[in-house]
Structure 1
Amino acid sequence: MIYTVTFNPSLDYIVKVDDFKTGQVNRTASERLFPGGKGINVSIVLKNLGFDNVALGFIAGFTGREIETRVRDFGCSSDFIEIENGLSRINVKLKSQEESEINGRGPQISEEALEKLFAQLDRLKKGDVLALAGSIPSSMPSDTYERIMARLENRGIDIVVDATKELLKKVLKYHPFLIKPNNHELGDMFGVTLKNDDEIILYGKKLQEMGARNVLVSMAGDGAIFLNEDGSVHKSAAPSGEVKNSVGAGDSMVAGFLAGYLESGDLAAAFKMGVAAGSASAFSEELATRQEVSDLLNKI
């Protein structure tokens, strides 16, 4: 089974205003509401691609219950831990002449609640896949990812980590199956600005030397680079298309990679599926569907 963890899920309220002006009343041209959070995005795209999975994490209040309802509306299973106090956050994404975001904080997550999540993860079995995605809320210990990976070490569980900077660096010693920084995040980890593919490959290999098995580097409109644990390097340009929405494209790439790998057992094929899924979400107002991914896969 595939499991995803989203520590701080959200309701994403996406509104379009034709000509937004500060200091006065504005009317929306359209509005949509989605369950949000990187792990949840991975779950939804995996389900769209035909792979059952279980979304884990923390929810609180009426917003939390709505998140869970909407996640299940996408066909995903969930086993969220409900926090007694507070509310799951609402993130407002305003699209007008420019795009602006206001992200909520979310509930306080206690050590007791965290232990409940650890207990859930302790039930994972050999052959299961776990995707850890996103930042850690300020109310949680900064070493939470490390604690999870230490508990699951040497149990035959493939762990994917989509995080940034020190959060990612500190888990490399546990040999995650896959990590997915983008090119800017990769440079930030080493305090450099990466100017070309050769430099991206050089620093991606440094992450492998530090313990990562497979490294997938997304580069937005420039495509992606994949460093396979067998030492091979794969590059892919992004397929052509109109970018409509960048939210969730990286998460979709992770989901597509996992789907491709579980279908074929081939990491190179998984890379192509990841690129197709990430691009399909970028070219859509919503997250990628199986048909959209299949259409793009033929162009890569």
Structure 2
Amino acid sequence: MIYTVTFNPSLDYILRLDDLTRGEINRATYENILPGGKGLNVSMVLKNLGHESRALGFVAGFTGEAVEKQFKSFGCEADFVHLDEGFSRINVKIKAKEETEINGQGPLIPKAAQNALFQKLETLKDGDTLVLAGSIPNTLPDDIYERIMERLAHRGIRIVVDATKGLLRKVLKYGPWLIKPNNHELGEMFDTELKTEKDILAHAKKLQEMGAKNVLISMAGDGALFLTETGESFRSPAPEGTLVNSVGAGDSMVAGFLAGFAESGGSWERAFFMGVATGSASAFSENLATRPEVEALLKTIG
């Protein structure tokens, strides 16, 4: 079973405008409301690709109810911890000539709720996959990723971490099965600018030396790279298409990778190209990637 964790789910209010003028009334030409959060995105794309998962995390208030209801309406399974106070955040995604995001803070997450999440994680068993994705809200301990991975160590659980530089560096000692930084985040982790593919590969190998088993590097319009724990490496150009929506593209890559890995019986090559195609399919669409969109792009890259 695949599990995803989203500490701070949201309602994403998505607006499209011809132009955004500060200090004036702006009128949208398109709007939509979707459940948001990196782990939820992974679960929704997995469902689109025909794979089940169970989403864990915290929800609160009327917005939390809306997040859960809409998430389940897509056929996804949720097992959230429900908080007694506060409300789940609303994130505003404004797409004009440039993309602008305004993200809410989210509710206070008390110790008892944190323990409730840990109890749910205790049910994971050998062969399961756990996706830890996104930032840690300031209402949680900043080492909660480490606490989770320490609890689940040596239990045969594949742990995927998609997080920013500081969080990612801290968890490498626990040997995550897969990490997915982009090329800029990879450079930031080593306080350097990576200008060539050779530089990117060299620093990805450093992450393996620090504990990561498999390293998937997204490079936006330049495609992606993948280093496996068995010493193989794969490279793919970016599929051709028009960028419509960058939100959720990285999460979609993770979902596609997991789907491809499961469908192929563990083929790194299939997992990688499926990940690239799925991430691109979401980037080229108003919504998250669907199976037909992914299959069409797969024919062009691998």
Separation in 2 of the partners of 1:102 and 1:244? 19
Partner of 1:39: 39
Unaligned runs of 5+ in 2: none
Partner of 1:255: 255
Is 2:291 the counterpart of 1:290?
A: yes
AA matched with 2:144: T
Separation in 2 of the partners of 1:110 and 1:187? 35
Partner of 2:154: 154
Counterpart mapping for 1:126-137 below 5 A: 126-137=126-137
Deviation by residue 1:163-207 (Cα, 9 ceiling, x = unmatched): 111211111111111000000000000100000110000000000
Is 2:89 the counterpart of 1:74?
A: no
AA matched with 2:271: A
- Per the normalisation by structure 2, the TM-score is 0.98
Is 2:230 the counterpart of 1:225?
A: no
AA matched with 1:233: S
Separation in 1 of the partners of 2:159 and 2:116? 19
Counterpart mapping for 1:165-244 below 5 A: 165-244=165-244
Partner of 1:275: 276
Separation in 1 of the partners of 2:117 and 2:150? 14
Identity over the aligned pairs, expressed in percent? Answer: 64
Separation in 1 of the partners of 2:282 and 2:18? 23
Secondary structure in structure 1 of the residue aligned to 2:300: coil
Range with greater deviation from structure 2 (26-35 or 58-67): 26-35
Separation in 2 of the partners of 1:149 and 1:95? 36
Partner of 2:144: 144
Deviation at 1:18, TM superposition (A): 2.4
Counterpart mapping for 1:3-82 below 5 A: 3-82=3-82
Q: How many residues align?
A: 300
AA matched with 2:235: K
Deviation at 1:96, TM superposition (A): 2.1
Separation in 2 of the partners of 1:98 and 1:297? 29
Deviation by residue 1:113-165 (Cα, 9 ceiling, x = unmatched): 11100000000011111000001001110110000000000101100000111
Secondary structure in structure 1 of the residue aligned to 2:272: helix
Deviation by residue 1:222-272 (Cα, 9 ceiling, x = unmatched): 100000111111110011011101100000000000000011111111001
Range with greater deviation from structure 2 (89-98 or 68-77): 89-98
Separation in 2 of the partners of 1:22 and 1:198? 42
AA matched with 2:174: Y
AA matched with 2:155: R
Partner of 1:90: 90
- Per the normalisation by structure 1, the TM-score is 0.98
Separation in 2 of the partners of 1:26 and 1:285? 21
Deviation by residue 1:270-299 (Cα, 9 ceiling, x = unmatched): 001000000000010100001100110111
Separation in 1 of the partners of 2:92 and 2:55? 22
Separation in 1 of the partners of 2:143 and 2:216? 23
Q: Once superposed, what is the RMSD of the aligned Cα atoms?
A: 0.8
AA matched with 1:296: L
Which stretches of structure 1, 4 residues or longer, exceed 6 Å deviation after superposition? Answer: none
